Chain A
Amino acid sequence: MRKLCDLVPAGLSARREARGILALCAFAALWSLTFLPRYFTARAGLFFRDGDLLLLLPEARMPPFSELLDGALLGCAAAALLLPLLAAWHLLYHYLGSRSIDLMRRLPRKRELPLRCLALPLLGELGLALLTLLLLGLYYALYRLCTPAAAL
């Protein structure tokens, strides 16, 4: 089993990069919360107040889920677009100030260079994909479960 520090170019901090990726994921998750005010505003529009009672408007229809989702997952998309830049930085790092690229290219394990350049960005992409699916699932469940069936 490889250690985390063996998944980035030698000399770079894997912990710092992993923290950066987690921060990106957190940003993406926070950005997705913009779905909630959109959803609850739309949901509130389904009802009218009659004294203390909230009654469903006749013919009321909830907007489609995709419409409410709007740009809620844009944070995930932006983060996913940033991760290839991290891979490019990993490669560029081997050319800065020295030619460590030559050392990496003459290692017996030929996959060492691509592995160290791509591992964390790919893990980040995988994490983001899972996060996107999780958020999508959560918000869809909220949409289905909290919206009156008659308005769906």
Chain B
Amino acid sequence: MLEWIQVEKRYGAKEALRGVSLRLSPGEIVGLFGENGAGKTTLLKCALGLVRCGGQVLLDGERVTGRNIARLSFATVEHGFFLSLSARAHAAFYEAQFGRFDRERFHVLLDFFRLPQDAPARALSAGQKNQLEVILALCQGADYILMDEPFAGNDVFNREDFYKLLLGLLRPQETVLLATHLIEEVQAFVGRAVLLREGRVLADVPAEAWEEQGLLAFVKEAYGYRADRVRCALAGSLGREE
């Protein structure tokens, strides 16, 4: 189990996380949603030790250290790979560093996306770079796969097929935490939704909670989204012009 316990993070005057507590059980696929600046990326980076934060992040009751960090993988839209290394060379690097790299899955995913094995990552298109990032995270051999907007820049067909493929590929104990804005696309894929707002958990609900209305409508409701805000803004603007 991966747990965030009262995790806090401050960037200068801005509080990015305000006592966030969250638990991921083995085998879950969880969507992490929230507007820009809600704290999604920071939450993921706290688990990986990439940003210093208050509170605790525990993996099966132990702090995340060099001894157990290989059980966490990370795919980020910022990309963690090396631009001058090919996919094949990345596989060798991951194999040497993480030990449990899944070569079979790697080749399945590489074939699926038709990614070149020997081209340096810098030669890939923006979408292909995202794919490589996700492939590496999925093949690292981690139990908890943390993804931060991994599909930004990929076309809709690729994304849809990828979700299906992922559901087929994941082993029962593998857990995915997926931070994304593509709420409608992932609603059939995730079994639980965590909503962040201004560094706090606004809602943490299972799929049953949005079964009727759909995840997007649920998220809008939870956020108190006003559908007429554009009309009001335009009316205000026109009013001033008059």
Could you tell me which A residues sit within 8 Å of B by CB distance?
9-12, 96-100, 102-103, 105-110, 112
Contacts and interface: CB of A to CB of B under 8 A. Distances in A.
Contacts of A97: 83, 122
Nearest to B70: A108
A10 B79 contact: no
B163 to A, nearest CB: 24
Given A97-B122, A106-B74, A108-B97, A10 B80 contact: no
Contacts of A12: 84
Interface of B: 45, 48-50, 66-67, 69-70, 72, 74, 76, 78-85, 89, 93, 97-99, 120-122
Nearest to A99: B78
B97 A107 contact: yes
A103 B81 contact: yes
Given A106-B50, A107-B97, A99 B79 contact: yes
Given A11-B89, A97-B122, A106-B48, 12 more contacts: A98-B78, A100-B79, A102-B45, A102-B80, A103-B80, A105-B49, A106-B49, A107-B69, A108-B67, A108-B70, A108-B98, A109-B97
Nearest to A6: B96
B37 to A, nearest CB: 19
Contacts of B50: 102, 105-106
Contacts of A98: 78-83, 121
16 contacts: A10-B85, A10-B89, A10-B93, A11-B120, A98-B121, A99-B78, A100-B79, A100-B83, A102-B50, A102-B76, A105-B50, A106-B49, A106-B74, A107-B97, A108-B70, A109-B97
B83 A11 contact: yes
A112 B74 contact: no
A96 B78 contact: no
Nearest to A9: B82
A11 B83 CA distance: 8
A12 B84 CA distance: 8
Nearest to A98: B79
Nearest to B136: A103
A96 B84 CA distance: 11
Nearest to A12: B84
A75 B180 CA distance: 55
A114 to B, nearest CB: 13
Secondary structure at chain A's binding surface: helix, strand, loop or mixed?
A: loop
Contact of A99 (B80, B121, B122): B80
Nearest to B129: A98
B66 A108 contact: yes
A108 B78 contact: no
A25 to B, nearest CB: 26
Given A103-B80, A106-B74, A108-B66, A11 B85 contact: yes
A108 to B, nearest CB: 5
A96 B66 CA distance: 25
Contacts of A11: 82-85, 89, 120
Contacts of B93: 10
Contact of A10 (B48, B67, B72, B82): B82
Nearest to B79: A98
A109 B66 contact: yes
8 A-B pairs closest in CB distance: A11-B84, A103-B80, A11-B82, A98-B79, A99-B78, A11-B85, A97-B83, A102-B80
Nearest to A11: B84
B189 to A, nearest CB: 25
Q: Which residue, of A12, A97, A103, A108, has the highest number of chain B Cβ atoms within 10 A?
A: A103
A49 B64 CA distance: 81
A113 to B, nearest CB: 11
Contacts of B76: 99, 102
